[in-house]
Structure 1
Amino acid sequence: MSDQTPQAELIRQSLKKRYRKEKRFRLYGMLAIAVALGSLLILFTDIISKGYTGFIKTTITLEVPLDGELMYLQDPGDSEQLAMADFQAPILAALQQHFPEASSRQDQRELNRLVGSYAANQVRDLLKTQPALLGSTKTLEFLVHDTVSVYVKHADNPAYSIRLSEQQRRWVDQLVAEGAIQTSFNDVLFSRGASREPSNAGILGAIVGSLLTMVVTLVIAFPVGVAAAVYLEEFAPQNRLTDFIEVNINNLAAVPSIIFGLLGLAVFIGLFGMPRSVPVVGGLVLALMTLPTIIISSRAAIKSVPPSIREAAEGIGASRMQVVLHHLVPLAMPGMMTGSIIGMAQALGETAPLLLIGMVAFIVEVPDGFFSSATVLPVQIYLWASSAEQGFIELASAGIMILLAFMITMNALAIWLRKRLERRW
């Protein structure tokens, strides 16, 4: 009994020590998850706090007198007169109706800075399309200048520098009190391309450019990647050449993305003479970058199909090609699609390879084809973030939110497809 008691006590102490280690290990795991979630929460809070105002536009509504004498315009159908007319004058006159004391040249210059630089173009386009409005008074809505928009949205936030004079601030406060200046959802962000002025800048061109680039990437990378995976897994002989190819595919999956940009610059643009800053070249570069991911995930999906499926098909007389096309590929397709979607989401967020092939250009027009000059969402965000204006910082954060929404949607789609289509053997 004296020998058994110490032994039992040693066992109890050993169990207690093991349980304490397990509790510490679980605590470390929970702490790591808490740190990760906290970091993610801080990141999203910072992005949303800076970017939600990017989805808000500030406009001013004015009663604009479309007086021909004021604009030096008699015939809106005459292109020469349209080119020489002063379309800022009626806007200034409309502002002076609110502030009749602003009569000096300095006051007029400060009044003109309350309205965006594209307001005059808006008046010109209106008279060009509707010449009968000449001589009438029209209620028009204009986008305000970026400095006014920042002041209206962040007047109480000392972190934002307000570049308005004291007089301009009084004018803006009065217009806000009168209801002439209002804020609303920023539909401009989703309906226009890039602009030098933040209040007129939109992300539609970058969204269309990203979609066109992703179409090229998917059309090239998915069939080539699946075909390569099927060949390597089912038809390729086991020799040194095959081993060499497999090792290099695994290595390519870890190569920095900028290397693929250098490859695209040297081959597609330098050797083949393809144009810069077009979705076709961007799609080709991203397809090369995505191929290793698709090949690896597709091979894993093929390996997950039980050998009994292959043996049963061969047992009833199916050829090797019929086994692959009629049984293995359809059963492995959910895994292939999941890997492809994850690879496409990775390609959607890439910036470095596209910078090297010229997709960093300032693109005003929305691209209308695969060979039109275009940019993509990450590059547009990079351009906005590198600008000093407060309005562009807001747009950059808003663009990050849109890009994250696209990537979360694509990853959620991959998870849904995996859960919906996968089969457990």
Structure 2
Amino acid sequence: MTEITAPLSDRSVSFHTSDAAEKRLRARYAAEKRFKAYGVIAIAFAVSMLAILLFTLFRTGISAFWQTEMQLEVTFDAAVVDPKGTGNPADWDRGAFQGLANEALYKAFPEVTGRTDRRELRGLLSPVAGAFLVNYALENPAVVGQTVKVWLPTSDGINQIAKGNIDRTLPESNRPVNDTQLGYLDRMESQGAIRTAFNSTFFSASDSNYPELAGILGATVGTLLTMVVTILLSLPISVAAAVYLEEFAPKNRLTELIEVNINNLAAVPSIVFGLLGLAMFLNFFGMPRSSPLVGGMVLALLVLPTIIIASRAALKAVPPSIREAALGMGASKLQTVMHHVLPLAMPGIMTGTIIAMAHALGETAPLLMIGMNAFVTAPPTGFLDSSSALPVQVYIWADKPERGFVELTSAAILVLLTFLVAMNATAIYFRKKFERRW
């Protein structure tokens, strides 16, 4: 019996066009579509979570950039403000200015005379309104001895009610402002003596126990000083280590061990570096606690592995032909690296450095371990002064019970995110501008 077989060409066409082949092809296409759908869903989920976070922060923190103020006729009695009569602002009794603010409030409500009633009336005005009066008098010394209208900050409760952060229709026991104080507020509003103004104090003041007096200036200055120390220490050491390991170090077990440890250090929790800084810099060397110098040194240790890894990757990206051409022209190994390889790798090194600094900018745990959560009411003037930092300031405010600190916390996070976005945008700009395609 003779077996009849189809030609090879016919069998090939039959194999690829059979129902089984089409089924396999449809399965592959379906799997590809599912994979793409999973990727789109993952990206959409991540973007939606980020959008929810930003929306929540913006909705909560935007009101922190505004402060409710009350206009009062303040009499700057010279006998009270300047009891020595010298006319020198340095001799003023600054503790008396709060009393001037309270007297102006009593004058606006002359019918309120009882001790308890006046205590409730004072609840409309910030308990630190006297500090704003002092600043106003320092800017306008001629007001001493005169009666002028001044806009003063309201208390935190009134501020939150006026901005709508607290529902005034809640039961009296559930809000910080009682019905009597709401009546006083409505009366002042009807007279045009209540307004919402830009809260410049948020940017020009440091930390305070009162939300209306608290700001981020001290934390911002402390952060900048800390970042200066971090970049000055980490960048030269990291680049030098990367150049040596990549270009000069012999390939043996010792260098392999060093490389493994550098990679492992990049994954160590940040609080471990804080413990190291506490044990070494503070306890052993006795350096000043809460200072930007110590904070910068700790953060420099934190970002060293990251910058070294990024620098080595940038050096590896330089084509070997560059090295070979330089050596062929008679350049030494050091000249080849310093004059040719390193300049070409610098954009990648700077990109990695900026990203590492952005990482350091958002760190809190190491700074808490070295005491940078101290209550500092003035910006630091040097690297050895006690200071705070923006992420630590966020941590401190988030732990405060007053409603005003809730919006201040969100506003400080928005400022911190702005710095982070700016630093990452700078890294992208440098990468795009100086990127070389080989």
TM over 0.5, yes or no? yes
Distance 2:224 2:287 in 1: 20
The TM-score with structure 2 as length reference comes to: 0.91
Distance 2:279 2:292 in 1: 17
CA drift of 1:131 comes to 6.4
Contact residue 50 and residue 397 of structure 1 kept, 8 A: yes
The corresponding residue for 2:73 is 63
Contact residue 193 and residue 205 of structure 1 kept, 8 A: yes
The corresponding residue for 1:398 is 411
The structure-2 alpha-carbon separation of the partners of 1:413 and 1:86, relative to structure 1 and needing over 3 Å to count, comes to closer
The corresponding residue for 1:227 is 240
Q: Which runs of 5+ in 1 are unaligned?
A: none
Q: Does 1:419 align with 2:432?
A: yes
The corresponding residue for 1:306 is 319
Q: Does 1:369 align with 2:379?
A: no
Contact residue 166 and residue 175 of structure 2 kept, 8 A: no
CA drift of 1:92 comes to 2.8
SS at match of 1:154: coil
Alignment of 1:232-243 (within 5 A): 232-243=245-256
SS at match of 1:324: helix
SS at match of 2:163: helix
Alignment of 1:58-97 (within 5 A): 58-68=68-78, 73=83, 75=85, 77=87, 82-83=92-93, 86-97=96-107
Letter of the 1:23 partner, please give it: K
The corresponding residue for 1:152 is 162
CA drift of 1:138 comes to 1.7
Alignment of 1:19-418 (within 5 A): 19-68=29-78, 73=83, 75=85, 77=87, 82-83=92-93, 86-124=96-134, 133-154=143-164, 157=167, 162-418=175-431
Contact residue 161 and residue 167 of structure 2 kept, 8 A: no
Greater displacement, 66-75 / 225-234: 66-75
CA drift of 1:173 comes to 1.9
Contact residue 115 and residue 145 of structure 1 kept, 8 A: yes
Let me know the Cα RMSD of the aligned residues. 2.4
The structure-2 alpha-carbon separation of the partners of 1:185 and 1:380, relative to structure 1 and needing over 3 Å to count, comes to same
Q: Which runs of 5+ in 2 are unaligned?
A: 1-5
The structure-2 alpha-carbon separation of the partners of 1:71 and 1:223, relative to structure 1 and needing over 3 Å to count, comes to closer
The structure-2 alpha-carbon separation of the partners of 1:214 and 1:84, relative to structure 1 and needing over 3 Å to count, comes to closer
Contact residue 77 and residue 131 of structure 1 kept, 8 A: no
Distance 1:337 1:69 in 2: 61
CA drift of 1:122 comes to 3.9
Contact residue 193 and residue 203 of structure 1 kept, 8 A: yes
Letter of the 1:279 partner, please give it: P
Letter of the 1:282 partner, please give it: G
Contact residue 79 and residue 85 of structure 2 kept, 8 A: no
Letter of the 2:73 partner, please give it: E
SS at match of 1:255: coil
Identity of aligned residues (%): 50
The structure-2 alpha-carbon separation of the partners of 1:139 and 1:325, relative to structure 1 and needing over 3 Å to count, comes to same
Contact residue 98 and residue 127 of structure 2 kept, 8 A: no
Count of aligned pairs: 425
The structure-2 alpha-carbon separation of the partners of 1:54 and 1:244, relative to structure 1 and needing over 3 Å to count, comes to same
SS at match of 2:422: helix
Distance 1:64 1:284 in 2: 50
